[in-house]
Structure 1
Amino acid sequence: MSSHSYLRSRAILRPTNVVVDDINNSILEKIPGTLHTHLSHDSIDDVGDEDNEFISAFPVEYLNSLNMPCIPKHELNIKVGIVVMLMRYLNQIMGLCNGTRMIVTSCKKNSIECEILCGSHVGSKYLIPRIEMIPTDTSWPFEFKRIQFPL
């Protein structure tokens, strides 16, 4: 696990998100260290009057339970030393692209420090911030917004 070249040459193909969750949880249990849990901030945007019944029909607990393939889950569990994949383009010039594989080197309250494992920017370290994500291809009658780490 401490060998970056070993981690660079390994990958797990994801057949379904449910299987991926099981694999991630199994790996997290086996890796030593402190588990860091980061919860998202979920909300509904642009629905007009905020005091109407529409908003109250979608409590925060319900919004937290929504899992869409284009945004990270409400609860992100990570440990220093695990491999993560970036889900958004943050800065292409610095190598922070969708699909970039990185290893977590430090966990902070509002950022996660990661080191790039592959490509022309191998070894570069960056702080990954929480960002606002709004899915574009949904059938929901509202605009859903999640603020979470794009990992």
Structure 2
Amino acid sequence: MLYKVLQSINDTLESLGRDINEYHLIPFTYSAIESKRYTREIMAEKNIPISEDDLHATNQLNTKQKKVFDIIFNNVMSDVGGAFFVDGPGGMGKSFLYKVLLAHIGSRGFIGLIVASSGIASSGFLGGRIAHSRFKIPIDGGPGSKCQISFQSSEAELIRNSKIIIWDEAPMADKSAIHVVNKLLGGGRSEQVEESIVSSTLWEHFTKLQLSDNMRARNDPGFMDFLMRIGNGEESTIDRDEIEIPEPMLIPYTILEQSIEDLISYVYPDLNLFENFPFEMMQRIILDPKNDFVDDINSKLIQRIPRDEVPRGPPQHKLVLKINCPVILFRNINPVEGLCNGTRLICKQLAPNVVGTKYTTNVVYDEVLVKASLT
């Protein structure tokens, strides 16, 4: 029993790049059985459920998506290898394409890793992780920096066993992130990148695959055209660098407080749906560039959720929660179980110093209860 407890603790610490012996919990040196040492993260990836919808969705791919799928999938299955950059504005179906690719690779018993440059993007995939968390990319990258993964660690073994690595939103990554991951995969030194992936010395090694059909805006071609004109610099401007947003895309402004309430009502028409349809509700989000407005909107949303506040009537520096309130994790607690920076959760239990939450990123993990201590 003692060994099983130590093994469980060490497995969790290894997923965070640490070792149980660093903490001197026991009077002897713990040594994992080599045959079991690398199985936890690998088995966790292999045990990620494969969506039947994604597996049978190849007939839903449009012509260009199918072409990209065939090129990448055939390269992966024939062990040819290669680096591909799937290009296309938002809504072109890149995420859908990645899910279909991962489903087909996983159904054949192989591991496919999916990472993203942001927590919100990674939460849209089963087993998705933020790239910095998965590859232990240093936050302050610079000349000579490298991923904090030992070549003998469980993370390294997982990467070696992976058939494909998909990086969503790669152009949004820090200027050196792609390069340090390339060092990790190649095991050697390389030249420094400039400001982004497209100016990196690695860029010439990517095969560019273009998507141009906006799948997200199929039912609203006018919105698609509007976005494309902005992206191409073709939309007419006001005072050189400002554009006029079409009236149908605006929430009418009256006074500030009422307009914020109208915006919340438009995005979240029924907050009771968090109780029974959390996955559907977590697809909605309000973005704001200013923290004071974020605090105001969050406060108004909390007030609308039909539960009691915990704690009641607090000042701003305290955390206000309710049952069925969505939250985002800001720490890597247990990456193998999906509890990492950017994971989206929903509160289901509230007790003194303890918050019980459930996954909401997908229906597969809906029944998993995660408890976090607050101090």
Q: Does 2:260 align with 1:17?
A: no
Shift of 1:127: 0.2
CA distance in 1, matches of 2:327, 2:341: 11
The 8 Å contact of residues 114 and 125 in structure 1, kept in 2 or not, is answered as yes
Identify if the C-alpha distance between structure 1 residues 99 and 9 changes in structure 2 by more than 3 Å, giving closer, same or farther.
same
Tell me the residue number matched to 2:323: 80
* Aligned residue pairs, count: 98
The 8 Å contact of residues 101 and 117 in structure 1, kept in 2 or not, is answered as yes
Higher strand share: 1
Q: Paired residue for 2:369, among 125, 128, 132?
A: 125
Identify if the C-alpha distance between structure 1 residues 118 and 100 changes in structure 2 by more than 3 Å, giving closer, same or farther.
same
CA distance in 2, matches of 1:88, 1:94: 13
CA distance in 1, matches of 2:283, 2:363: 15
CA distance in 2, matches of 1:94, 1:27: 29
Shift of 1:108: 0.7
Structure possessing the higher radius of gyration over alpha carbons: 2
Q: Paired residue for 2:358, among 115, 124, 142?
A: 115
> Greater relative contact order: 1 or 2 (C-alpha under 8 angstroms, separation 6 or more)?
1
Q: Deviations over 1:97-131 (max 9, x none)?
A: 1111100001010210000111596312110112x
CA distance in 1, matches of 2:297, 2:358: 22
The 8 Å contact of residues 94 and 121 in structure 1, kept in 2 or not, is answered as no
Alignment-mate amino acid for residue 100 of structure 1: T
Identify if the C-alpha distance between structure 1 residues 19 and 121 changes in structure 2 by more than 3 Å, giving closer, same or farther.
farther
| Alignment gaps of 5+ in structure 1 | 39-64, 66-72, 131-146
The 8 Å contact of residues 95 and 121 in structure 1, kept in 2 or not, is answered as no
Identity across the alignment (%): 29
- Equivalent residues in 2 for 1:92-103 (5 A)? 92-103=335-346
Higher helix share: 2
Runs of 4+ deviating beyond 4 Å: none
TM-score (norm 1): 0.58
Shift of 1:13: 2.0
Q: Does 2:277 align with 1:34?
A: no
| Alignment gaps of 5+ in structure 2 | 1-272
Q: Deviations over 1:46-78 (max 9, x none)?
A: xxxxxxxxxxxxxxxxxxx9xxxxxxx730000
TM-score (norm 2): 0.25
User: Helix, strand or coil: the match of 2:330?
Assistant: coil
